[in-house]
Structure 1
């Protein structure tokens, strides 16, 4: 009461402000999270000691960060497209200085909050004694973020300083995880058409004589990924669409093809927040103008692999880096700048295709008779499951059937807040909500509700369940 009286004494406006602050949910403590670095089954391997790569993730998100470290520094340029980029130190690269100053390029999930990861790599360089406060020895880390928050996952965990620095310190040459790892841990593509396919990070490498070219992309595009034959690489399509979907069909039918997806539903704003961030690296020594031309050419070429590309709802950023190890004037083999640009563009398309992970299947409900399940077995799943301070789901059992309803500030995928939805059984412990997108609800772990078990799972804990249970 004293707090209320104090608030009222300073005016009604202040009281309302204090009340609103008090009502906000307290979000998860990031200090309890454990960084997981350089963990992947499928990787790209190549020989290039001048380029070190690290990937780090918080599985509790899941979300992550990808660090490209140049131990001997490098020259860099940047090209920015789309309507919503989020970057650090990009303007400095635009000045076109011809002195190699770049230490690292950092890509991060977490939207604006992930920008912390980029500056964290710079401070790690200083803390580790690699750089200092001397004007000519300041650490320069640049980078960009993707949006992987909102309805995509049921929490707001973001890549922070601790994760970024652990990732930087674990970086190693010649190894790059492919698929849903690092900054691409919860990337998606195709929101414009309602595809909402899982995506990730991809990389490709090509060597011609002494010339090395590597391309990397975290693909979180509003458009779809197009294969070289024109087929869509991944899409949870409308039931009326052909299974062998082609980009030309989607675009020729536009805007009708857009209406079939989520772009006109209540989640439209979420599906429109997209970004593809990318990096192309060569060992050929380039002047700032030629390096900028490389960035512009390769970025423009990505419109073949991502359709449409660089929309107003994308924030696409490409960095071009020259390690300067190969001087064309003295090399046994070298490219013209045009040859380099065209070849690098093809390598980038390969990298984008390599970002597409295997897609979880939409679960088909088997012909299970509800009568085979015992009501007592279903009642043991009942309770309130908390995924984060923003998302909770209430499970109820009635008439030998199981129901779910979101009770927090936000919906939980197809489980909304307005009314309970029935969970249809696919096994004794697993259930689904039939629809266009995969949604498996699993009770295999006591006291836990796991949505979409596997690489993109979200875990809720039943109220009253201890963490150690």
Structure 2
């Protein structure tokens, strides 16, 4: 186990980004189509092909998921991933046509200091293609891909990932893009809200503060009193090797959202577009009640860990007044 989303067999992850743009794309590819669903809790989501994931709709399986910066402009990144998959002959077959199924979601990073004057067409379709072409078993965390331009209320955000297994051997892993309106750390200190779920020292091993003061529990928002709706989003992808139906995948996504509440304060606000995608490769049958409940519980913990790792591994953007990275402030 590498503590990455790719600990699930048949899953590959690729990044593509542009330092001048201060934005990028992350593509999650599945070697064979997977059952998938999603759960939306934030008030300002931006998505592509999300209706396909509704359990009542026809398409049962997807080929990839795309996460992107760029707000609504980034939705085009899914077209780039789709183009790469089409070249490989992947997709949903309808007569003589083959259509790759690539849902996705975006975060808002248009005000992070990067150069967004790209001319007539945004670069996200090309970044999506490059991310798909780069997909493999190993991938970077922190300020890369869709997390390059991500921020939180007080620290630089980024890409995080984590994995775990149930006592019965069913694996679950998460990847998160942390661009939250709230804070992932407690007050002005080094402690992560997700500290109780940390595995080893994967995000510094600092634990929780000895006590909580009113100042620690005060609301911190990105932009302070000028915080605007739609400028923030945390996205997560949860993948398991369990065999799930679309309704069961939806339930897994709903339970995994609990991990957001364990790692971000505040969360699921009108100012966020928080989304969890859940996908199942189908390798291991599970009991639909007790074992699915256990899987959802562990998935939520894994999402919380992935969110904390996204901030812990981030590096600051090289622009005036850019937010510091966690390691800039608290690393020994």
Whole-Å separation in 2 of the counterparts to 1:132 and 1:358: 37
Query: Residues 341 and 323 of structure 1: is their aligned pair in 2 closer, same or farther, counting only changes over 3 Å?
Result: same
- The alpha carbon displacement at 1:51 in A equals 0.6
TM-score (normalizing by structure 1):
0.57
Query: Residues 339 and 186 of structure 1: is their aligned pair in 2 closer, same or farther, counting only changes over 3 Å?
Result: same
- The alpha carbon displacement at 1:133 in A equals 6.1
Query: Residues 102 and 303 of structure 1: is their aligned pair in 2 closer, same or farther, counting only changes over 3 Å?
Result: same
Give the counterpart of 1:123 among 69, 83, 107: 83
Runs of 4 or more, structure 1, over 6 Å off, are 244-248
Higher relative contact order (CA 8 A, sep 6+): 2
Aligned residues: 299
- The alpha carbon displacement at 1:246 in A equals 8.2
Aligned pairs for 1:28-427 within 5 A: 44=4, 47-96=7-56, 100-131=60-91, 134=94, 137-150=98-111, 152-156=112-116, 159-173=123-137, 175-190=138-153, 195=154, 197-208=155-166, 209-226=168-185, 232-233=191-192, 249-250=214-215, 252-254=217-219, 262-264=223-225, 268-269=226-227, 273-328=231-286, 336-357=291-312, 413=320
CA RMSD, aligned part only? 3.3
- The alpha carbon displacement at 1:262 in A equals 4.0
Q: Deviations over 1:402-449 (max 9, x none)?
A: xxxxxxxxxx856xxxxxxxxxxxxxxxxxxxxx966xxxxxxxxxxx
Q: 1:231·1:247 contact (CA, 8 Å) conserved in 2?
A: no
Query: Residues 82 and 122 of structure 1: is their aligned pair in 2 closer, same or farther, counting only changes over 3 Å?
Result: same
- The alpha carbon displacement at 1:300 in A equals 3.2
Gaps of 5+ in 2: 194-208
Whole-Å separation in 1 of the counterparts to 2:5 and 2:253: 23
TM-score (normalizing by structure 2):
0.79
Whole-Å separation in 2 of the counterparts to 1:179 and 1:248: 29
Gaps of 5+ in 1: 1-41, 235-243, 362-411, 415-435, 439-453, 455-469
Query: Residues 210 and 357 of structure 1: is their aligned pair in 2 closer, same or farther, counting only changes over 3 Å?
Result: closer
Whole-Å separation in 1 of the counterparts to 2:5 and 2:268: 29
| Secondary structure in 2 matching 1:107 | strand
- The alpha carbon displacement at 1:131 in A equals 3.4
Q: 1:111·1:148 contact (CA, 8 Å) conserved in 2?
A: yes
Whole-Å separation in 1 of the counterparts to 2:128 and 2:244: 30
**Of the two, which has the highest radius of gyration?**
1
Whole-Å separation in 2 of the counterparts to 1:163 and 1:274: 21
